[in-house]
Amino acid sequence: MPEYNKSADTTHFGYKSVSVDEKAGLVKGVFDSVASRYDIMNDLMSGGLHRIWKQFTIDQAGVKAGHRCLDLAGGTGDLARSFASQVGETGEVVLADINLAMLEHGRRRLVDAGVAGNLSIAQVDAENLPFAAASFDRVTIAFGLRNVTDKEAALASMLRVLKPGGKALILEFSKPAESIKPIYDLYSFKILPVLGKLVAGDEESYQYLAESIRMHPDQDTLLGMMQDAGFERCRYHNLTAGIVALHIGYRI
């Protein structure tokens, strides 16, 4: 299991140790590079499974008419689009990401899909959310937490903006079952970077993806981090033999 503790001055960027101040810029470079091919690569590298994982998250969110939803690291807007149709005219969805290139791509997709009126876009840092306390019924983050430098700060910030009774959902790559680990590692480190090079013209970013997944807290570690942050009734669902996990917690 990777070591998740870091010094006050360093953190992980994939397998590399970098300064805390440096990581955000390195992650920005990754997503600036892949933004235009992000959706195509998601379909290719997951065999379309990412759509099933996201739909499971949407179903578990239980969004109702009139809800306010915050979709962090929302990128190209898959979750936000569904939530916008569920909250209706009396609700609101905020599509948020720290990366401007991803937000611009997401905005274009949502405009093309006819989503407007109850959806806004915000460039924010998940570690320090610029929203009032207790202002959202749901907070989601899909495939974004592993890129956050200070995950504890992000979890605390997510809890702060949730209303009492509100639900946070974290969809992220996690630790797969031992039975599939050899073939999963082969795919991650040998095939995925080649796909990145051929389709997105960027081998290094997808090498980082494979490494960042291994450095992300496993299922039980993340569950403990959520509990330490103050979330209640925490649980997780393993998807596709634990390749991905959906963590859920509430503000009581």
Predicted confidence at residue 13, as pLDDT, reads 79
Predicted confidence at residue 4, as pLDDT, reads 46
Q: How far apart, in whole angstroms, are the C-alpha atoms of residue 135 and residue 142?
A: 20
| pLDDT in single tens digits along all 252 residues of the chain | 444 444 468 888 778 888 888 887 877 777 777 766 777 778 888 989 999 999 999 999 999 999 999 999 998 899 999 999 999 999 999 999 999 988 998 888 898 888 878 999 999 999 999 999 999 999 999 999 999 999 999 999 999 999 999 999 999 999 999 999 999 999 999 998 898 888 778 788 889 889 999 999 999 999 999 999 999 999 999 999 999 999 999 999
- Taken in order of first residue, the domains within the chain and their CATH numbers are 16-178+206-250 (3.40.50.150)
